[in-house]
């Protein structure tokens, strides 16, 4: 049994999940020795790990971007509060 890993990765990255599933099912349904089954399962696990790492990297990057945005918002909010407080003090001095 032979799984074309680059083809499978390409299908997964192109979000062609039905086609990828067919490739995997065809490979798994072939008559294989125990050694071939182990190699196939190992290859599938490798693709899965690579895919999950890519997803986790995207998720991590999105979280970093969101945190950065929140820091900008917090800084602007603090500045606005300081300016409002300063305006209040200045208004009190004129009385």
Report, as an integer, the average pLDDT of 64-90: 94
**Residue 47 · residue 11 · CB < 8 Å:** no
Q: Provide the domain limits for residue 85.
A: 5-93
How close are the terminal C-alpha atoms of the chain, in Å?
Answer: 89
Please write the tens of the pLDDT for every residue from 2-39. Answer: 677 888 888 888 888 899 888 888 877 777 788 887 88
Residue 69 has a pLDDT of 95
Cα gap 12→7, rounded to integer Å: 9
Beta strands in 1-74 (DSSP E): none
Domains in the chain: how many in total? Answer: 1
Of the candidates 27, 8, 4, the residue with the CA atom closest to the CA atom of residue 17 = 8
Token pair for residue 55?
């997803």
């Amino acid at each position: 049994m032979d799984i074309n890993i680059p083809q499978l990765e390409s299908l997964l990255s192109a979000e062609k999940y039905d086609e990828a599933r067919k490739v995997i099912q065809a490979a798994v349904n072939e008559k294989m020795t125990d050694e071939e089954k182990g190699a196939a399962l190992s290859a599938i696990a490798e693709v899965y790990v690579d895919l999950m790492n890519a997803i986790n990297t995207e998720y991590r990057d999105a979280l970093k971007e969101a945190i950065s945005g929140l820091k900008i918002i917090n800084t602007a909010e603090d500045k606005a509060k300081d300016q409002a407080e300063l305006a209040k003090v200045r208004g009190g001095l004129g009385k």
